[in-house]
Amino acid sequence: MSEQAPPVALVRRARRINRELAEVYPYAHPELDFENPFQLLVATVLSAQTTDLRVNQTTPALFAKYPTPEEMAAADPSELEEILRPTGFFRAKARSVLGLSAALRDDFGGEVPGRLADLVKLPGVGRKTANVVLGNAFGVPGITVDTHFGRLARRFGWTTSEDPEKVEQDVARLFPKSDWTMLSHRVVFHGRRICHSRKPACGACPIARLCPSYGEGEMDPEKARKLLKYEKGGFPGQRLNPPPDYPGLPAPPLGAS
């Protein structure tokens, strides 16, 4: 028995939110620095329970020393842990990075696979990480449900679930597959900059009139503007090497004041 289609009004409002977010964030992009699928895969694994900024500050030294899966798989664990220390949980992350690098070397000829079923078999790689890699390194549409995306999907009324896989399924039913990757970026951008977890800046939100949760956060426009982060608040972004069309400031390297 097929699942019942979502209400037409919900679909229309969801797609309008996506269109308006596209106008607010025409420069939305993955906020991890990477030059190839392997770098993106490793950076995404390292981003668990830390900021993309801290990952971006850590990966230049990491990839300079271990640029390929073969070289990373052969790394001395203690040396790898020391490089990864700033990202937190560095021992577990070192084990994941060593394991996925060895799997890429042994099972995939040193290349990152372009299929979800293969990616999720790698150590430390779940659906979220796999969708990030597929969408941004291979052009395969995917919905990336991180904490920001899940929070906003619930605030927008797109889902009621706390389970990332169910959130992914619910949101996928509202949008054409071709929208999934950029939708993910726009929603995450909005969650990081305006629609914060504890105190969303409702009074400075450009899509407030479309949001069923409007009023949960700071309503006063002046106070709300002070809550804006990254380029919306006049501060550096998370990437040391942002795309050319990014209107904000690059993030500082590790150790910079």
Among 33, 52, 146, 170, the one annotated catalytic: 146
Instruction: Report which residue type is found at 65.
Output: K
What's the chain look like in SS3? CCCCCCCHHHHHHHHHHHHHHHHHCCCCCCCCCCCCHHHHHHHHHHCCCCCHHHHHHHHHHHHHHCCCHHHHHCCCHHHHHHHHHHHCCHHHHHHHHHHHHHHHHHHCCCCCCCCHHHHCCCCCCCHHHHHHHHHHHCCCCCCCCCHHHHHHHHHCCCCCCCCHHHHHHHHHCCCCHHHHHHHHHHHHHHHHHCCCCCCCCHHHCCCHHHCCCCCCCCCCHHHHHCCCCHHHHCCECCCCCCCCCCCCECCCCCCCC
How far apart CA 165 and CA 168 sit, in angstroms, is 5
Cβ atoms of residues 179 and 18 within 8 Å: yes
Is residue 202 annotated as involved in ligand binding? yes
Q: Is 199 one of the catalytic residues? A: no
User: Could you tell me if residue 240 is left (phi over 0), alpha (psi between -120 and 50 degrees) or otherwise beta?
Assistant: alpha
Q: Is 52 one of the catalytic residues? A: no
Terminal Cα-to-Cα distance of the chain (whole angstroms):
59
Is residue 211 annotated as involved in ligand binding? yes
Among 33, 128, 170, 179, the one annotated catalytic: 128
Task: Write out the binding residues for [4Fe-4S] cluster.
Answer: 195, 202, 205, 211
Residues annotated as part of the active site: 128, 146
Task: Write out the binding residues.
Answer: 195, 202, 205, 211
